[in-house]
Structure 1
Amino acid sequence: MIVVLLNVYLALLFILVKLRVVPFNLFWKVSPVIVLLLLLVGLFIPMNWGAPQGPALVVRQSIAIVPDVAGEVIDVPVAANTPLKAGEILFKIDPTPYRSQLKALEAQYKLQEQRLSQMTQLQSTGSGRAFDVEQRQAEADQLKAQLEGAQWNLDKTVIRAPADGYVTNLALRKGARVSNLPLSPVMSFVDTADTIIGVEINQIDARYIAPGQPVELTFKFAPGQVFPGQVESVLQAISTGQAQVSGAAVTPIAIQSAPFVVRVKLDDQAFAASLPAGATGDAAIFTDRVKAAHIIRKVLLRQIAILNYVNPF
């Protein structure tokens, strides 16, 4: 853009010199350099903090699916990358051992209730001890708690979608044996209930960014288009500023000025929901400073949007 403005100035200067409106003296000869410096110092450098621009990335929450019970998989009704609603079945584990355990506990609990009833009747007639009734009651309560646990295990043999989304990279098949170890997930579930769009902004340009400010974004996924939105928040921490708990002393590192991340939200939520996780693009944030440069930033962003038809990087 600065090249375009400078060329426009040179064209006007050439016309004015040819028409003898201005003399072609030393001042006008060096005026392009003066104009270039004025554009840099007065407009384009301040534009970086008045209307900062940075790369954008679409991120979705990924949930590692780990079953609560172990066993043999008997059914996998889902297909990879197919939209699912919260509560739909992902896969089933053979319930036979858990159903057998539940039935055994139900039989024990039924017998314990009968014994409790008998002890209560004996106590009411003076033939039994209160201690025996209390002991039977405690045993009945313990079996009831075990029954609830067994029922929970049986229910967990059917694994359901935790939210709206889809399963990606599905490798689980019928006959596979799964465990409930936390480090052994069996599939990855992508939550589409919330679309996270992050924009990286250099630290020197992020000083005036605040929630609610307007944003424009263009994506490689949708070349030639610009989508409006607004700033949701400026993340207050990045990994380089995070203190890790350890038993070692402070380890000095080469400190670098990493960009901050700004979370933005598109006005068109239907389009945001259609964006694949990992979609990239560029975004411009329009603060309440250097408003004269906003129109230039809008033009630059639209140039990027058009170049997205041919620029894969």
Structure 2
Amino acid sequence: MSPEQRFARWVRAAIVMFVILFAYFVVADAYMPVTPQARVLRDVTRVAPEVSGQVIDVTVDNNQHVETGDVLFRIDPEPFRIAVEKAELALEQARRDNAELDASLAEARAGLASARADAEELRRERQRVERLIQGGSISRQRYDEVVAEARAAEAAVDAAEAQVHSLEVQRGENGEDNLRLRQARNALDVARLDLARTEVRAEQPGWVSNLHLAKGDYVTAGSPVLARVGEAVDIVADFREKSLRHVGDEEPAWVALDALPGEVFAAHVVSEDAGVLSGQVIADGSLADIPTTDRWVRDAQRMRIHLAFDEAPATLPPTGARATVQLAPTDHGLSAWFARAQIGLMSWLHHVY
């Protein structure tokens, strides 16, 4: 065989191999898609104090594992203890104010009773003088004096009733449902809650991360000072949208972690995001911004899906760890075998790159 014939044979073989590989990738992209654009995410909580103050103790180290309820750091509690004592004194003062109002109210009611008695006596006196003046038995001056006294007594009754009503409004309800007492108790509860919040505790188990807090630092309520990395794992993978047309929830998948080359972990699809940022239109009053490109073939849009391990690795990967995800969205045994072989090859390639 001449060199030209051998070259032509190699060319034909290369063309055939190219056609086979092209057909394989087209079929694989639809029925067993794979993507290296995947990450392992764990829930990250930014821990911030709920009260402001000076740190007097940091009880954990960076990257230390904590359980729910473990103390992370403490804030100087002395100002908050004083606030609790002040609120307790305010509650006691509210009780004394109520007692004073009760006494004043009793006195006002007694005065009202006296005013009513005087007004009733003068009302009867007025009725008598009205009969006498008709018979001419008393003078007009005496009649006018009695009428004026009766009217003054009625006014005194109105004033006494107004005073009683004012004191009743100030006193409010009796017992522990009194407004003044409820306000004082509420202030006391807030002060005690703030005192309890001087010990910042872990709300969930996880690992302390990015800790740069030391004794003597001043922390502000609501400002994060460390992060807690949780134990819940979420695998996010970005696929070309056309590769997901056969994918549904609970579809089987395999995950190869860059940190564990040569190992493949079984997983399944949990959900698919409803959209991406480029699909969000913000009503900001501006006209549409239409992107332009001079490329003949545009980049494919990628959509995000979420997966979960069927059985998590013995050592949880750090959040943000890179991964490769292989899907097998069909029940055909041959495609599943090729998908498993494909991700196995990818996992071994992680030894190299």
Q: TM-score, normalised by structure 1?
A: 0.80
Q: For 1:185 and 1:196, how far apart are their aligned partners in 2?
A: 23
What aligned pairs does 1:214-225 form with structure 2 within 5 A after superposition? 214-225=252-263
Match 2:213 to one of 148, 157, 172 = 172
Match of 1:91 in 2: 73
Aligned residue identity for 2:83: Q
Match of 1:200 in 2: 238
Q: 1:148 to 1:217 in 2, by over 3 A?
A: same
Aligned residue identity for 2:220: S
Are 1:84 and 1:164, in contact at CA under 8 Å, matched by a contact in 2?
yes
Q: For 2:219 and 2:283, how far apart are their aligned partners in 1?
A: 33
Structure scoring higher RCO (CA < 8 A, sep ≥ 6) equals 2
Q: Find out whether 1:68 has 2:50 as its counterpart.
A: yes
Map Cα deviations across residues 55-90 of structure 1 (whole Å, 9 max, x no partner): 221112222222111110111101111111122111
What aligned pairs does 1:258-273 form with structure 2 within 5 A after superposition? 258-269=301-312, 271=314
Match 1:40 to one of 4, 16, 22 = 22
Match of 1:189 in 2: 228
Q: For 2:192 and 2:292, how far apart are their aligned partners in 1?
A: 56
Match of 1:82 in 2: 64
Unmatched runs of 5 consecutive residues or more in structure 1? 1-25
Map Cα deviations across residues 133-169 of structure 1 (whole Å, 9 max, x no partner): 2189332222222112212211211111121112212
Map Cα deviations across residues 171-193 of structure 1 (whole Å, 9 max, x no partner): 0100001112x4x321122222x
Are 1:75 and 1:91, in contact at CA under 8 Å, matched by a contact in 2?
yes
Q: 1:77 to 1:254 in 2, by over 3 A?
A: farther
Q: Find out whether 1:141 has 2:177 as its counterpart.
A: no
What aligned pairs does 1:1-313 form with structure 2 within 5 A after superposition? 33=15, 36-37=18-19, 40-41=22-23, 43-55=24-36, 56-117=38-99, 119-120=101-102, 126-127=109-110, 129-134=167-172, 137-180=178-221, 182=222, 184-192=223-231, 194-254=232-292, 256-269=299-312, 271=314, 274-288=316-330, 292-311=334-353
Give SS of 1:248's match: coil
Shift of the alpha carbon at 1:284? 0.6
Q: TM-score, normalised by structure 2?
A: 0.71
Q: For 2:292 and 2:201, how far apart are their aligned partners in 1?
A: 46
Aligned residue identity for 1:139: R
Q: 1:155 to 1:227 in 2, by over 3 A?
A: same
Q: 1:224 to 1:151 in 2, by over 3 A?
A: same
Q: 1:229 to 1:247 in 2, by over 3 A?
A: same
Give SS of 1:72's match: strand
Aligned residue identity for 2:225: V
The structure where helix makes up a greater share of residues is: 2
Aligned residue identity for 1:110: E
Q: For 2:171 and 2:285, how far apart are their aligned partners in 1?
A: 55
Identity, in percent, stands at 22
Are 1:66 and 1:185, in contact at CA under 8 Å, matched by a contact in 2?
yes
Q: 1:295 to 1:135 in 2, by over 3 A?
A: closer
Are 1:105 and 1:143, in contact at CA under 8 Å, matched by a contact in 2?
yes
Aligned residue identity for 1:59: L
Are 2:330 and 2:336, in contact at CA under 8 Å, matched by a contact in 1?
no
Between Structure 1 and Structure 2, how many residues are aligned?
281
Map Cα deviations across residues 251-275 of structure 1 (whole Å, 9 max, x no partner): 233485331111111111353x611
Unmatched runs of 5 consecutive residues or more in structure 2? 1-7, 111-163, 294-298
Q: For 1:211 and 1:224, how far apart are their aligned partners in 2?
A: 27
Aligned residue identity for 1:190: V
RMSD: 2.9
